[in-house]
Amino acid sequence: MNKEYYVILTGSKNNAGDFLIKHRAKQLFQAVRPDREIVDFNAWEYLDDEKLEIVNNSKALILMGGPALQKNMYPGIYKLRDNLDDIKVPIIMMGIGWKSMKGEWKDTYDYALSSSSLRLLNMVEGSGFLSSVRDYQTLNVLHIKGYKNILMTGCPAYYDLEHLNKGLNVSKYINKVAFSLGVSFVESKSMEKVMKGIILELQKKFKDKYFEVVFHHSLDKCNLLKYNSASEHHSKKHNKFAKWLESNNISYIDISGSAENLMNYYSNVDLHIGFRVHAHIFMNSISKYSILISEDGRAKGVEKTINGIVLNGYLYFKENNLSKILNKLFNFYDRYTPNKYINQELFENLFYETKINYNRILNSRKIIDSNFHIMEKFLKQLP
């Protein structure tokens, strides 16, 4: 290495959004910390002795992005080492988020974390450096647990350096409309019905435009199973959905596998509507028109972080033990209560935003620009 360096642990396997997090994070390091090079390891892989030596010769080990603050954060999300004391450099979090299906604020008060995960968080807190999280819910989870050395920087994916402190990029004439498909339909018939209903209505509304459904997860079974054997059901459901689109003469595209696929695609979209959080984040990062529909707590985190247009795709999600057991025993036990007004809300908001000259998108732009100063503060204080 010509320069001193950081090791980052990233979770990009297949989902286009995970690749975007890593891509944007590397751009941020290059812009704010050009004095450091970046070595990128897969978070789910064990740090063998060779990797451990690379880590221990770095300036810091940085746990990067995604919904990694989970009960089994270590060793479930970050494999690391059997003995954490083998790691001799500061361990720091960047853009980490919690994982909650309902995403309600009260759920931050008693958020379950294993003893091994708490041990990792104790090492992060004791590093002597600030860490960062992606939303205020995650910040509150950590505050309630007693961890104070945390900044709410937002996800690294919010920051397109070319669009910071610039005006709106909303097209006066909408020619291309993209609908990003969520994942809740894999386990929920009611959410599948919601998504198909929205798609059919959008097809009618934009019959004179180019309208397309976007898959962020691969339609190639081999790509999914490469990392997770449990994804076979996931793959079957996605391909079945693609067949339904074909039967209704609706175009679709698979953009999984890289940040470039996501960025190149959505850069040419005038309006995004859908369930994929990082499609919404990317569109806001380049000041374009986007409406996010929630299928879990991540969307609610986005709404608290940058405001913008976030609609409830569901009203309730069953998280009790009985519902979990029934879901495992019976594939079609539905834990979701969808929002029956979502179609009406969606089209009312489409009209309303044009009426107010895209004021909510403009406000999101201002918040992203403001939050960037916190991200800069975080990056500059790193060792």
Region at 318 (left for phi over 0; alpha for psi -120 to 50; beta for the rest): beta
Task: List the structure tokens of 155.
Answer: 């996800």
DSSP H helices, the chain, are: 16-32, 49-56, 115-125, 136-144, 189-205, 221-225, 232-247, 259-266, 277-285, 297-306, 321-329, 342-355, 359-380
pLDDT, one tens digit per residue, over 173-199 is 899 999 999 999 998 999 999 999 999
Q: Say if residue 234's pLDDT is above 90.
A: no
Task: List the structure tokens of 21.
Answer: 């997090």
Q: CB of 159 within 8 A of CB of 319?
A: no
Q: CB of 61 within 8 A of CB of 90?
A: yes
CA 297 to chain CA mean position, Å: 11
- The C-alpha atoms of residue 198 and residue 40 are separated, in whole angstroms, by 39
pLDDT, one tens digit per residue, over 69-110 is 999 999 999 999 999 999 999 999 999 999 999 999 999 999
Q: Do domains 4-160+370-380 and 176-367 have the same CATH topology?
A: yes
Q: Say if residue 271's pLDDT is above 70.
A: yes
Instruction: Note the maximum CA span of the chain.
Output: 61
pLDDT at residue 132, as a whole number: 98
Average pLDDT over residues 362-377: 98
- At the top level of CATH, which class does the domain 4-160+370-380 belong to? alpha beta
pLDDT at residue 225, as a whole number: 52
Task: List the structure tokens of 207.
Answer: 């019959």
Domain boundaries, the chain: 4-160+370-380, 176-367
pLDDT, one tens digit per residue, over 1-39 is 678 999 999 998 878 889 999 999 999 999 999 999 999
Q: CB of 277 within 8 A of CB of 338?
A: no
* Mean pLDDT score of the chain: 93
pLDDT at residue 82, as a whole number: 97
CATH code: domain 176-367 is 3.40.50
pLDDT at residue 223, as a whole number: 61
pLDDT, one tens digit per residue, over 274-333 is 999 999 999 999 999 999 999 999 999 999 999 999 999 999 988 777 767 676 666 668
Region at 352 (left for phi over 0; alpha for psi -120 to 50; beta for the rest): alpha
Average pLDDT over residues 217-235: 68
Q: Say if residue 229's pLDDT is above 50.
A: no
